[in-house]
Every structure is written in C-alpha cells, then in structure tokens.
Chain A
C-alpha cells in the first residue's frame, strides 16, 4: 500500500499542478471579461511595462542569437552538403530548422531565462511584502492588475521576438549563403518562400500563444505561492525555469505531432 502511495503521490501532485494552472488561466480570463473601460488605462500601463522588459529590452539579445544561429546553421549545412548542390536546399533548411522549430523554441527559452524568472521573483516579493493582499483589499483586482497585463505583455513580446528572431536568422543565413556561394537575395528569399507553407504560419502562431501562456502562468503560479520567507524566492525561480522549460518542450512536441506527423 505504501509503495502504491509513493507511486501515486507525484502523479497526484502533477494533476493538482495542472488543475491550479487551469484555475489560474480561467480566473484570469473571467476577470479580464469583467474589466471596465476606465480600467483599461491602468491595465494597459502595466502591459506596456511588461512589453518593454520582455520584448524591447530583449531585442538585442534575441537578434544577436538569431543572427549567429542562422549563420551557423548554414555553415554547418554547407560543410556537410557541399558538392550535393547545397544551395538548392537553403530555403528548405532554413524553414525546417529555424522558422519551424528553433525560432519559437529558442525565443521561449530566452524569455523564460529573462522574464519568467523576473515575474516569479517580483510576484514572490510582492506576496511577502503584503502588496498583493493590499491591492485586493483596496479594490484593485490582482487578476486584472497583475496577471492579465503580464500575460498579454508576454504574448505580444513573444510574438514580436519570434518575428525578429526569424528575420535575423534568415539574415544570418543569407550572409553565409552570399559569401560562400554568391547566392542573391532574390534567389534566397524565393527558396525560403517556396519551402514555407500556411501550416508553418499556423504552427508559429499556435506556439506563440501556448508558449507565452505557459511561461506567464508558470511564473505567476510559483511566484504567488510564496508565503513565508525570502528564501522561497530563489526556489520559486528555479521551479519556474524547470517547469516552464518542460511545458514549452512538451507543447512544442505536441504541436509538431498534431501538425506535421
């Protein structure tokens, strides 16, 4: 019996976690629908702050990473496929590796590292300082003031960062293709365009929506669970990173299986 209980405890814990996440998402959605027009400016202000931190401040990091990744991908591809007409596969390679998979995935990883950790730590500190209680007690709905703008801010930021990541990675790839094979910009873009399908756009949009939700609500869940001491903050941040990474990779696999399998 004790053995069965030991086996069941993690499963139960996981199901409880999923239940908590669903509860948090549904409550945030429900309270979003209750927002009044005169409250939009306050919520919008918080959302802008989140977009600035998650999106704008991360732009150089994401752009640099993407430029290098695009270039390295084509350098490696050319080193393996030289003599096999590698230049004909440039578009397919970039779409398969960067646009379909690495663009959204690496953007999500960077956002988890920069923003999910910050959200969890900030909400944890607010919780410890009684700020979340104070907001609610004075009629400022925490779902509307804390969770909704962070969710929307991360959603907008992840979308913009994925677009930037893809564009910069294509740019990095083009630089290598031009230097190595003298490929023209028109040929390069035609090759990418031919390899792209509507399904790729659908997959990217789906990933942006699901990844940003997973990142925000994992951070909010662990941050708001902090109750007693500051030593809980680094623990919550670590849990956020691990849990959000697992969620993002699982969702990525699920979307690939649904759309491409």
Chain B
C-alpha cells in the first residue's frame, strides 16, 4: 500500500468536505412531496391556524377552551377568553389535552375478546361487526347497566334516556365522590344545585379541606376568584384560613393553616358557630332562624371550644380566634371539601360547615354563598356520581347483571379492591367497554370499542358550579379523529333504532341532537339572526350565558339537626395502624383519569415537586423515629392490603398522618403510566357515610413497613447540594 502523502491527504480531505457540502445542501426527498388530505378538514386554511371553541371537562365541568388547529391537527389549547367561568384561563389538564388526543396508545379500532375475561386478549373487528354484537347482546329481556363518569349536557341526557327506555340503569362512578357535599347543600340550602361560593367578593374564606385552587370542583374558576379575593382593585385583601389533616396546595396559600384530626371538622365548625353566638359577634336576628331550624341554640352547648379541642387537635383559643376573625370580616364563606367530606360522618360535616354560612348571614349575599339556577332539560349539569353503596351492592348481592356497558371510567381500578368489583364484571352476561384508553375494567370486556377524545366529539354542558347564573357551553370536534373511534352518544343513537325503535330519538347523530336542542332553546338568542346563524354563534363563542346572576334564593328550610353529628369512625385499629391515610388528588393527574398523559405525569406536584410516581408524605420527625429517609421504599399497610411507595419527608405533614396521591399503579393504559407507582385506592377500607352511602375514602388507618430498598424519587427540587460532594464543585462559588 502506497504511503499517504501530504498532498494526497489534503486533496482527499478537500474532496470529502466538498462532497459533504453538496450532499448536505441537497433538498431532502420529503420536501418535494405534498400530501393531499383524504378528507379535507372543513374551514382549514393550509398553513394557517384556525381556532375552535369547545368544552373541556378535564378539570371540572365549567371550562370552555379554544384549540388552535393547523392543517386539521390540534396544536395548542388555551382558555376561551369569552367564556364567563374560566375567562381565558386553562387548567394544566386542559393544556395537556393535545397529548392524550395524539397518544399512540389510544384504542384505534373495535375489538372482540379472544381469551378469558380479564386476560385483555382481544382481536380486531370492524364497526359493523361490533354493532351487530352489541345489538345482539342488548336485546330484551336484557336490561343494560350503563356505567359512566360524570357526563353532562346532551351526552348525559342521551345516555340516561337510552338506559331508561331499555328499562336499564345508568350509574355514574367517581372515585373521590362529592356525594356528601351534595347532601349537605340539599339539607342546609334546600337545593340540588351546587351553589356559587362567591370567593371574589368574600372578606374571609374558611375552608375545611377544600383544595379549591387545585382539584376541588372548579379550580380554574376559583383561582380567578381567589386572585380578586386577595388583591382585587378597590378592596381589602381577603383573609383565608384552611383547616385540614394534610396540607393541600390551597392550604399552602392560606394565611393560617390548621391541622385537624380527620372527621372532626363538623365539630370545629359548630364550635366556631357557638363562639360567634355566645360572644354576640353576629346579631341574633341573623342566626336565630337558621340555628332554630337546625336544632336550636341549646344544641350548640355540646360544642364548647374546650370540649371540641380535646378531640379535634385544634386548641380552644385558636377556635375562638378563627371564629372572631370570621365574624369580623364578613361576608365570609365556609367551604367543606376534600377529606373533610370523605368520612363516616361526611354529610354531617358538610351540613355543619355550610350551616356556618347561614349563621353569619352569608347565604344569598354577594361575597357569600349564592344559589345557582337549574339547567335546561336537554343540557343538564353533569350527573352527580352515584354513591359508593350502589357499587358495593352490585358486588355483594352476588347477582349477575344482564349486560354492562362501561364508558371511559374504571371502577375496577377506582373502587377498593376489597369490594371485588372485578367479580361483578366477570359475572355479567355481557360486558362492553367504550373507552379512549385500555383500563382495568375494559380488560374484562367482551367487546372493546374506541371512544373519541373530547376534542373530537359533539356535546354540551351546563357549568357546574356556575357563578350564580345559567352558563351553557357547547362542545364541537376541533379535529377529525385519526383513529376509528366514535363518540359514546353516537354509538347509543346508532343502536337505539334497532333496540328501542325508530322513534327513540329524533336525531341519529350527536351533531344533529346537539344542534336541534340548541336551536330549539337558543335559536332566537339574537332575534336579528336566523336560528342557523345563532347556532354558529353558539359554537363560535363556546356557549351562551345570562348577562347577570339569576334572581333566586335559597329555601329558608333546613333539613338537618346539628345533634345528629356523630364522631368519626375509622377502618383500622389505632394501636396497630398508627397513621391516618390521606389519599389526595394531584393537580395534574386528578383522580388518576389523566395519568395516561406523560406531560401530566411529568408535571411536578406543587408541594413536593415529585413526578411520575407515587410517594408517601410523612412528617420528618416521624421519619427519623422510624429510621426512614427520602426515597426509602415502604409498604403502606391497611387492614385491606398494602402498596409500596417511596418516602417523602414533608414538614407540613402532621406526625400521625401520611399522604399518598391517587392515580398510580395502573395495569393498563399507555406506555408511560402502566407500572408507575401504586394504587392507593385499592387498599382503602369500604367504610361508608351511612346517611348518603358515600365512600369514606379518608377514614382508613395505615402503618408503614420498611422494605430496606431505596429508589430515588424523581423530584424537581435540588435537595442534595453537590458542593458538599467530595471531588470539587460543579458550580464555582465566590467566597471572597
């Protein structure tokens, strides 16, 4: 081989560089391609963005969003600036909606079970085959049991009507149900509608466990109102006290955060009421009637601050201080929520806290609690969740449902495993699951149907809670589905003629149904326009709402006696199980329904900054006592079972409490959530609030067992200072 000379080397190098330049500058083949749509999206302008307003229920039924689409693809979600509830703001779950829309693990075609039930072994079929199977298995005398989440508006109306016409049932499942709040509102305010807590104009907010800035009811609406409450123009800064067993994100914003033993919130509320009455902080004419209707002043005698302090974990002086502050900064609002309602006496706690509003005269006043109007029949509010008792009964009576249709909820995952809901599904004659992503319940299905993403379907909703007026939102597809999915409403409307008769529903599609009912009700919203033009305007603006608050008032009747407040009970002996287990929803993943979305998995929890996994919040001193440090894997053991998770020491967690987020430990879903963390809902005791049948999901006790393992918790915070490491500093610190 000849030796490589200098000249040859230079020549070779120059040729290589020149060749590289020529190849590198050539136009890639893909740039000379131009693809035509199969179906051109309506109104699409190539390369130009088009914004569509639609509904988004990812963070409560009250948000309308606008979605930016380019060439028929959704690119960005923002709040709808015209919509009165969220006023241009969007929840993190809404923002992340595009990622679940284009998630590669979405169900894309109908499938039929091939293996045993629960084996999740399916084979692909066509929609025609799927509809045939569905119609065949829903024929009378079979009566379907339809289980959905809190669906609203036209979809809710169609689903409920379909079930009723077939003689079946429609059950609404929500893992962290708010049944106790609904019952409290009914007893104290005499209404079925969730009232408007007018935070924006309040002088004082006294919240018992309601994480209203993060996860409770309508967090975007409340965050906006909270902004006005704290630093609105022309008003004094509002004061805020939060009382709860585990500090929530909302609690971390409070002026005063107080720990309370779970289940004693009602007693503290009544003790505050007693202080207000005894000290004459509010005129007798204000409290006399409501207190009389709820059992009389004597009934408050049992709630002296001293006697309540002994069990509640709050000092008597502090109860008095809060009572005085509350009464001196009226209008004040007392809100029950979160773990305060998930107790064996949850509905009574809700009643006691809400009664406080009536005792200080905050009911029906601006800055207090205001009534919300009922929704129109064809656009109902989200249907309230059925209490846990209904699902436990299905499991315990041993009977088998003829046919079960489950839509986009996962009761097998969300119910305590001691309930054995998978047996209910296994025993059923026929199970169909229509869902966007595979889940533990759909693993038992005979027929698996791909459901559309909310950005791909038609619908409507009445905001719940609204802001004291009727607010109707409309949902329209902002893109056509890239999968073979159909909307649940369209499915029911498609099979209804075969099962019920051609006259079952006036329209055959959700588009027609929503449009017809919208035009019927709001077709003359602007008399200068035609009904069709008004319909287009409803879609453009995202909905229709009253200009001012409705003139309604609460009933004077109170259907509750404060003497009925009982002491809380827990699952698990205090001696053996030392901690109160506080499951909590996270802002990003909610009750776990959004866990499939990797953006949301990666969004840090605002208090701990933990991402991607399940963790156990524990008091640092307790951790020292148990010889635990961050990342140590422990078994959280309850009488019902155990899960594993890493320790996170948090100074705001009381010594006898552990907090565990819900939403982890999924067996089915997407590639980014399956196997991440553990499912704390599975180890909860099936203890009820007897008066409502709601699950007391914050009334289980637990103990911790060290496993000896340690896994680094994925957090955003910088807790190991590398400057302390041997071997030098990555960041040079000037100390001169």
Q: Say whether A associates with B.
A: no
Q: Which residues of A contact B (CB under 8 A)?
A: none
